[in-house]
Amino acid sequence: MPTPMAMPVDAEARAARARTRGRRLRTVRACALGVAGLLLAGCASMPDHGEIRSVQGSQGVDSQVRVFGVPPADKASAAEIVDGFLEAMTSDDPQLETARKYLTQEQAKSWKPGSAVTVLRGGLDRSPVRGEKDPDGPRWKVTGKKLATVDERSAYQPETGGGAFEEFLQLVQEDKQWRIATPPRSLVLSESDFQRIYMPVNKYYFAGDHLVADPVYVRQRSDPDSRMDPTTQTVQSLLAGPSRWLSPVVESSFPTGTELRAGTKSLSYDGQNTLRVPLNDKADNVAQPQCRKMATQLLYTVKDLTGSRLEQVELLRSDGKSSSLCSVTEVSAAAIANRPKIPEYQYFVDDADRLVRLKLDISSEVQQKPEPVPGPLATPPGFKVLSAAVTYDERRAAVVSQDGHGLYVVPMSGSGAMPQPVYPGKGNKTNTLTAPSWDAAGDLWFADQDPQHLGLWRVPGGTGVPEKVQVAGLDGGRITSLKASSDGARIALLVQRDGARKNLYVGRIERPDGKGDVSAVSVRELRPAAPQMADVTAMSWAPRGRLLVVGRESGGIVQARYMLADGSMVAAGLPGATGLMEVAVAATEDESKPKPVVAFSEDDGIVWLPPGAQWRTVMPGGRAPVYPG
């Protein structure tokens, strides 16, 4: 199972100077970890050349290492001021104090980058703007290739099309020292510095009765502006409301204006693994059902941040006393959150084109045998299946016929003949229907690839009249695969344009709310979910709002990675993914009990990757693996 070219002399000289500068920057960072007096005595030297230079990020710096900037030296050159400021933006100084020392007195007081961040692919280039005379002083241009932005609500947005970053830093003389009068509007960080300083977390909001993960980024240590620790930063972000992308389809249970009690900088756990959260007076009079939903949002938001197990969240009133508003435990929160049912079986199509199931007992040393699903699909002579999806309650299956031309919804109990198709293929071509997908509301989703009926379709409740779903931003692309999230708020789409590579997008599912002219379900604001990959070939939703994505980077080999639905990559990958067939992978969204990842291997059929183990074959000749959903 799967396991430069010679430089001219002047370029060479510039490269040598850049290497020297790189060594000095690393020295600055190393000295920052030592005694403060030694830092000031030996770590203040900086280059004084004025050509174009690359200001590299701190490649390989461990996320646990704290980095502090170095204040400007007396009578530092304009180049030194620019370099020192760009480096100081990556520091852990409270209130970015060192970075502010490179600014004019007025800007040092008013500069508020807040939580907004511009993330660059690689380092920064900076160069003096030549050919113009500014009466105030020199201007420097700072450029780079934009990878993503993080907005004031801490939401990550990948940059599409390799956007260019450009800012101009105006320098002026103040007390006979060069200082910057026009700092960037946001923090500007290389990708490596961003990964060192920030970490991804999920906030949770309700879409109907279901919790939806809203990924954001917070500082790994105390925030320079608010002085809040990571847990408190995350709770503050939750109270501020959902990201702009998700806000049209979710709501918060917290009353408008709810914040942490004034002065709260950290939140701690007691000996019973209970987190107590003091709120302001906006939440003092909420009813108990609403309060418990508030506490449920908090519990799911915070529980992945702590090394110890979080078993209970208690909300406190604004009076400063220990009076409790309400509390929830893990068990009671799970009921309120309406999490997906723990799957009993894993499903796939065997070599006889039957939909079969396998009991999820990864602890058993005895190889289990798959069994045909009960109901009409098991009635001889048997219905030949191309692909399938099973409802979360595991009572119904949606199957595409072997010719890929008809979609059927079949009970998995009783007996009798196959029902009529809910969507008979309307074109002449075969294999036009994608594998279907269920959401937790019981709606069935699929795409028709026939050129005459191209598009995304939805069958309300799995029994209604199929409705074509408008997908904003599809722009003529062909949907080759899809997967609705269990919460019913998002859908992942593999889209192919002009026969080229496939790109992965996540769209927001908007449903009629009885207001305005909206009369049909639609998918809005497609955003790239795997922009780092040149071609995506398979995907599945995974726990905590992540996506398991199979694909390849430009010039790379096939790999499988967990990625956040906002398009930022999570470090975890699957071992041995290079041998996977590039068309089928399945994971379950259930978080309570880890389940194996299931895939189709070209050589071995259906294979499992149990938690903490190695791949193993469970059914030679099988294909099209799915979990309920």
pLDDT of residue 367: 62
Residue 76 DSSP class: -
Q: What is the pTM of this model?
A: 0.84
Question: Quick check: 580 and 600 in contact, CB under 8 A?
Answer: yes
Look-up of token digits 């956040």: 564
For 458, phi then psi, to 5°, come to -135, 135
pLDDT of residue 66: 67
- The residue ranges of every structural domain in the chain are 9-197, 414-626
Q: pLDDT below 70 — which residues of the chain?
A: 1-66, 115, 131-135, 161-162, 224-226, 306-308, 321-322, 362-367, 426-430, 514-519, 571, 577-582
The H or E element containing residue 288 is helix 288-302
| Spatial separation of the C-alpha atoms in residues 223 and 230, rounded to whole Å | 8
Amino acid found at 40: L
pLDDT of residue 382: 78
Residue 593 DSSP class: S
Question: Quick check: 172 and 452 in contact, CB under 8 A?
Answer: no
pLDDT of residue 430: 67
Q: Give CA separation, 468 vs 435, 445, 497, 620, in Å.
A: 16, 10, 20, 37
Return the half-sphere exposure (C-beta side, CA atoms, 13 A cut-off) of residue 163. Answer: 14
Q: What are the start-end ranges of the E strands in 20-162? A: 53-55, 117-120, 124-128, 139-150, 156-158
User: What crossing angle do the helices spanning 9-31 and 78-88 adopt, rounded to 10°?
Assistant: 50
Mapped onto helix, strand or coil, the DSSP state of residue 213 is: strand
Q: Give CA separation, 199 vs 53, 117, 186, in Å.
A: 29, 13, 18
* Angle ∠(370,374,376) on CA atoms, nearest 5: 130
| Spatial separation of the C-alpha atoms in residues 279 and 286, rounded to whole Å | 12
- Give residue 36's Cα distance to chain centre: 38
Mapped onto helix, strand or coil, the DSSP state of residue 405 is: coil
- Beta-bridge partner residues of 355: 349
- Beta-bridge partner residues of 67: none
pLDDT of residue 405: 86
- Tell me if the domain spanning 414-626 has CATH number 3.40.47.10: no
pLDDT of residue 306: 63
Tokens in use for 323?
A: 């009076």
| Spatial separation of the C-alpha atoms in residues 495 and 419, rounded to whole Å | 31
Could you tell me which residues come within 8 angstroms of residue 244 by beta carbon, excluding any fewer than 6 positions away?
Answer: 151, 153, 155
